[in-house]
């Protein structure tokens, strides 16, 4: 069964490739890209190096929505997205990916880990020098842990 098929019928068609740096997230995504002929999107290139200070979160959402309207593949493969951690963006990365995944299948790398003892998804964000923690009981998505 393909990834796309495994996500059918879900409100959020999101698959996170979860792992720490060097775990093989990008390599997994690149292999999937080559096997399926789908490009990997680099939001750092699409959005530019920084988000203008006079722009807010709606600027980023609207820009990405506009870009994806003309994007024909049914699957969105996302790797580089450090621009979304820009202090001016105020974007919650998980909310952003969940919103995108209501319209298309989204497969994205996720720098972090699952804390199985606490049933939490942790996003390690060195750029902001903080970690973001999400309750797995409240999130509808699939994931693959890479070690």
pLDDT digits (tens, 9 = 90+) for 18-72: 999 899 999 999 999 999 999 999 877 877 666 666 666 777 778 888 888 888 8
Cα torsion 47, 73, 93, 109: sign: negative
What average pLDDT does the segment 115-127 reach?
Answer: 88
User: 6 or 128: which carries more pLDDT confidence?
Assistant: 6
Start-to-end Cα distance in the chain: 23
Euclidean distance between CA atoms 88 and 84, whole angstroms: 9
Name which of 38, 26, 13 is nearest 146 in CA terms. Answer: 26
DSSP 50: S
> Per-residue pLDDT averaged across 1-21, rounded?
87
Q: How far apart are CA 101 and CA 11, in angstroms?
A: 8
Q: Which residue has the tokens 């994205």?
A: 108
């Amino acid at each position: 069964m393909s990834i796309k098929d495994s996500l059918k019928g879900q409100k959020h068609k999101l698959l996170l490739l979860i792992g720490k740096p060097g775990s093989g997230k990008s390599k997994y995504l690149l292999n999937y890209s080559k096997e399926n002929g789908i490009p990997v999107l680099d939001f750092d290139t699409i959005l530019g190096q920084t988000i203008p200070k006079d722009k807010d979160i709606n600027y980023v959402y609207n820009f990405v929505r506009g870009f994806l309207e003309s994007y024909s593949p049914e699957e969105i493969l996302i790797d580089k997205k450090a621009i979304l951690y820009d202090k001016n963006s105020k974007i919650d990365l998980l909310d952003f990916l969940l919103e995108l995944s209501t319209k298309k299948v989204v497969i994205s790398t996720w720098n972090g880990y699952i804390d199985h003892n606490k049933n939490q998804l942790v996003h390690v964000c060195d750029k902001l020098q903080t970690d973001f923690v999400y309750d797995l009981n409240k999130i509808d998505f699939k994931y693959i842990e890479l070690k």
